[in-house]
Chain A
Amino acid sequence: MELYELGLKEAATKIKNKEISSTELTKSLLDRIEARNGEINAYVTVDRDIALEMAQSSDTRIKEGNPRLIEGVPLGIKDLFCTKGVRTTACSHILDNFIPPYESTVTTNLWNAGGVLLGKTNMDEFAMGSSNESSYFGAVKNPWDLSRTPGGSSGGSAAAVADYQCAASTGSDTGGSIRQPASFTGTVGIKPTYGRCSRFGMVAFASSLDQAGAFARNVEDAALMLRSMSGYDEKDSTSADRPIENYDEKLDQFDIKGLKIGLPKEYFVDGLDPKVKEIIDQSIKNFTDQGAEVVEISLPHTKYAVPAYYIVAPAEAAANLARYDGMRYGLRVEGDNLMDTYMKTRTEGFGMEVKRRIMIGNYTLSSGYYDAYYTKAQRVRALITKDFVDAFEQVDVIFTPTTPTPAFKIGGKVEDPVQMYLNDIFTVATSLAGLPGLSVPAGKMGFEGANLPVGLQMIGPAFSERQLLRTAYAHEQMTKFEPLKA
């Protein structure tokens, strides 16, 4: 077994026990990236020197007998977390060569826990996309089938974990950008409750929805990663002032007997591949066999979630992306005058999908349309939130498929934005309600001639991450999902 195959907890333990050094592990992963990145394209920036320097300082700490939670373990960081002195672009041409003079809170927390920055992972431009095809640095390939997408927007983070190019990575989820790629790559991906992780220093897409989260190859590692990155931050006014929980501890102390699992009838209908349903049904059966109870529930406003999301998110994005004007940092294309410079810079700097969302956002916010679109979408959002509140009076957790199908082909939906948006159908409602959701591998299926992983989505009440991770851990124990071989 190669060092790069080690999981997060495993690696941290071996480093702490001085079985391996952080430097050895980091080198192993850097070599793995070097060998594989040309094909997978999971990383957009890898700084060997910084990685080895951080590894060295972890090794010193180990020597001094002063290890922290994940001391010495190298991590992949989605390219929308600002990293001080290391290029951060959100995979947009407009942030070409932007080197932040500050560190995001999430990555600060990770470095304070002993993490090592391995590199910045590829993503859809400004996290806008479900296939990683909108990245300025090109699409990421799904390690399970190189002709397929790993999903998006955190496609690089998911592919890097699946392909053993890091043990764990950060992602961000605005409408499914962690859960969908986790499902497509057979990894565990958790999006915690809105406010659990600070958004400070995270390049904004849609501020009321954006939430950082974690990828790993197993539930325990995802829990440990989330624990290392989350926490209250006074620099983010929407951050939740609650103590950090030790999500990774006592994961097995969980009694399935009596667990009430809600199955929303609106999620098990048209467009859901029958083989996906079969796999999800098997997962549910595993739980009922152990004494869990299944309750059919209704989330009646589900069908409005995608339209509401595609009004709220672009509106916020249109304003959030106004700062990329070529005046202070990033790309600037000189024009004849101010307006011309703005237009040339933004025309060249933004890709198609980003422009589309800026246009939608500015349209729905404009005078005369605001009430019909934005106000109405916010009202729908409140109803969707209430659907979940009502549901969680009856059940402990909600199970759904993460996506209607396994990973689709690169180029398969890129010409049809609406088809692409519909891929988020099972994930956006959770985001609109600000609830925690995760995707765990539930099985594999034949799909268009390939053998591909399928994810089960678990949704819980606000700040129920601990319960959610224990449920996911129980699922993992029963499912015996065979991950991709290194």
Chain B
Amino acid sequence: MIHPDYEMVIGLEVHAQVTTESKLFSGSSTSFGADPNTQANNIDLGMPGMLPVLNKEAVDAGIKLGLALGCRINRKSVFDRKNYFYPDLPKGYQISQFTLPIVEHGNITIDLSDGSTKNIGVTRMHLEEDAGKSVHDFGADHHSHVDLNRAGIPLMEIVSEPDLRTPEEAGEYLKKLRSILRFLEVCDGNMEQGSMRCDANVSVRKKGIAAFGTRREIKNLNSIRNVMRAIEYEANHQIDVLENGGTIDQETILWDANKNETRTMRSKEDAHDYRYFPDPDLLPLYLTEERIEACSKSMPELPDEMKERFIKDYNLSPYDASVLTLSKANASYYEAVVGQKNDPKLCANWVTGELFGALNKQGLDIDSSPISPEQLGELVEMISNNTISGKIAKTVFEEMFETSKNPKDIVEEKGLVQITDRGAIEAVVDKIIEANGDNVEKYRAGNERLLGFFVGQVMKETGGKANPAIVNEILREKL
């Protein structure tokens, strides 16, 4: 929570690694986790006379993301050199896009927990190459070492407008962006491995004031949770400073996830002059209508479209629909559970409730779920046709999750089939009424809350297998 007189203004810059086989300007492999410097060729090493050649696949990925975000696709864009010295930047410049990015002016619709949605502007998205990785104070000699495997890996830098107002909105923006990237299969969105990274620009202002405050840029946020925590911390810090009569300096700061605090990396005075200019080794990138059209045709269904379809076709709440369409894997799992015949709403409850809960607890993702969608579908079907009760189903689910067995087998082995035979239930009800004369009296005298007691007794007697609706009905009759 922040000071009630203030509001936050947040803009995010996301670097998403494009899932291409080779680097943005060289043929080196991009696969993760290879031995240091084994995936850097002469071009990545910045050897004399080496020249960049643009990866077409990365360009197509950029076009697709641009289309997905409703951006203007620039028919001409330019690669620029961003000049600075650092040992993990072999050429002494990074090839990026400065003045003319590949796409501009889009937006992302985020879903908020109160069920509302908000449009967040996307200023631009450009393609650029990654730098290498520096490791300091490393090994017995405590020297700095450089790994250039990452140097030249294609990145899409997605810059948002300063439209975000809370850490929650920032988190939702990142989730939505990540799901769009994953649906398009242009980035795996894995923040921990660094294939999606985020910098946050944060400022605060008194409510009702139109002008933005001075912003500070938080670097190096490697999870959505850290993004949210860092923004919250930073906003409170800025408010403290302002409330104590101080001023905010435009700075770049680092988030320390261990200490839960930010610290200054460099002040505005130390800011680099990157001396951008068009890279003369690369011609301007011209995109033809045919190429854009081809990318457009190969676009998969996107999260928002899928969400609308789920609401319409499956009659789901917007919240359930957005949870289920957060990832392609979630969505296709859910659709497989529904299959041809199951009740979509009941399936949604089981997937978002029991299944996601159990997976979360185990730290598993949906692809490694011990329960297949077909098995869960079978379970839902057994509930729908009254083979088992919802309560029994939870027990069955637990065993399925543990053993990966089919629900039918578990129900059969343990004799958990629901008792729907009226005669059988009546016999149990009679037995319970006979054994609990006092409570029968009290119930009949007007204490209707005791019905629950009788239901409980019947269920206990039947090992939870009696159909609760029938039990209720018979009890009311007999009492």
Contact = CB atoms under 8 A, between A and B. Distances in A.
Given A323-B91, A365-B275, A237 B83 contact: no
Interface in B44-62: 45-54
Contacts of B91: 322-323
A235 interface: yes
Interface in A212-241: 234-238
Given A323-B91, A338-B87, A200 B277 contact: no
Interface residues of A, number: 44
B283 A200 contact: no
Contacts of B45: 328
A325 B51 contact: no
Binding site secondary structure of chain B: loop
A365 B277 contact: yes
A104 interface: yes
Contacts of B87: 325, 327, 338
A203 interface: yes
B277 A329 contact: no
Nearest to A234: B53
A95 B48 contact: yes
Interface in A48-92: 80-82, 88, 90
B302 interface: no
B51 A367 contact: no
Contact of B42 (A98, A102, A204, A315): A102
Contact of B283 (A82, A238, A322, A365): A238
Nearest to A207: B280
A207 B273 CA distance: 22
B281 interface: yes
Contacts of A321: 92
A366 interface: yes
Contact of A199 (B49, B85, B92, B283): B49
A176 interface: no
Interface string B62-102: 00000000000000000001010101001111000000000
A323 B273 contact: no
Which residue, of A319, A321, A365, has the highest number of chain B Cβ atoms within 10 A?
A: A319
Contacts of B323: none
B90 A323 contact: yes
Contacts of B281: 204, 207, 237-238
A208 interface: yes
Nearest to A378: B278
A328 B277 contact: no
Contacts of A465: none
A456 interface: no
Interface in A413-457: none
Interface in B30-52: 42, 45-52
B229 to A, nearest CB: 32
Nearest to B83: A319
Contacts, number: 100
A325 B146 CA distance: 14
Interface string B239-267: 00000000000000000000000000000
Contacts of A349: none
B275 to A, nearest CB: 4
Contact of B52 (A101, A201, A237, A342): A237
A236 B49 CA distance: 10
Contact of A237 (B49, B90, B93, B283): B283
A319 B91 CA distance: 8
A95 B47 CA distance: 11
A155 B266 CA distance: 47
A329 B53 contact: no
A123 B208 CA distance: 67
B282 interface: yes
A148 to B, nearest CB: 30
A362 B275 contact: yes
Contacts of B42: 101-102
Interface in B423-448: none
Given A237-B282, A238-B281, A100 B47 contact: yes
Contacts of B53: 234-237
Contacts of B83: 318-319, 322, 362, 365
A328 B49 CA distance: 15
Contacts of A327: 87, 90, 146
A100 B49 CA distance: 10
A322 B85 contact: yes
Given A234-B53, A237-B51, A367-B273, A316 B46 contact: no
Contacts of B275: 318-319, 362, 365-367, 370
A319 B52 CA distance: 14
A433 B281 CA distance: 16
Nearest to B275: A365
A328 B92 contact: no
Nearest to B46: A323
Given A322-B93, A327-B87, A366-B275, A102 B283 contact: no
A473 interface: no
Interface in B298-344: none
Nearest to B148: A328
Contact of B85 (A80, A208, A342): A342
Contacts of B50: 200-201
Contacts of B280: 206-208, 238, 316
A392 interface: no
B14 to A, nearest CB: 25
A101 to B, nearest CB: 7
Given A338-B87, A342-B85, A204 B46 contact: no
Which residue, of A201, A322, A328, has the highest number of chain B Cβ atoms within 10 A?
A: A322
A10 to B, nearest CB: 32
A362 B90 CA distance: 18
B273 A325 contact: no
A374 interface: yes
A139 B42 CA distance: 31
Nearest to A239: B51
A370 B46 contact: no
A112 to B, nearest CB: 18
A329 B54 CA distance: 25
A251 B81 CA distance: 43
A323 B45 CA distance: 9
A202 interface: yes
B48 A90 contact: yes
A321 B275 CA distance: 14
B42 to A, nearest CB: 6
B352 to A, nearest CB: 49
B93 A374 contact: no
A200 B90 contact: no
A323 B48 contact: yes
A315 B93 contact: no
A88 B48 contact: yes
A109 to B, nearest CB: 15
Contact of B277 (A88, A95, A236, A319): A319
B49 A201 contact: yes
Contacts of B277: 315-316, 319, 365, 370, 374
Given A234-B53, A319-B83, A82 B273 contact: no
Nearest to A362: B275
B282 A82 contact: no
Contact of B92 (A101, A204, A315, A319): A319
27 contacts: A82-B49, A88-B48, A95-B48, A98-B48, A100-B49, A101-B47, A199-B49, A200-B49, A201-B50, A203-B48, A203-B49, A204-B48, A204-B49, A237-B53, A237-B54, A315-B277, A316-B277, A318-B275, A319-B93, A319-B277, A323-B92, A327-B90, A328-B45, A328-B46, A338-B144, A342-B85, A366-B273
Given A318-B275, A338-B87, A362-B83, 15 more contacts: A199-B51, A202-B49, A203-B49, A204-B48, A234-B53, A237-B52, A316-B280, A321-B92, A323-B46, A323-B48, A327-B90, A328-B47, A329-B47, A366-B273, A370-B276
Those 5 A-B pairs whose CB atoms lie nearest each other, nearest first: A322-B92, A208-B280, A207-B280, A365-B275, A323-B46
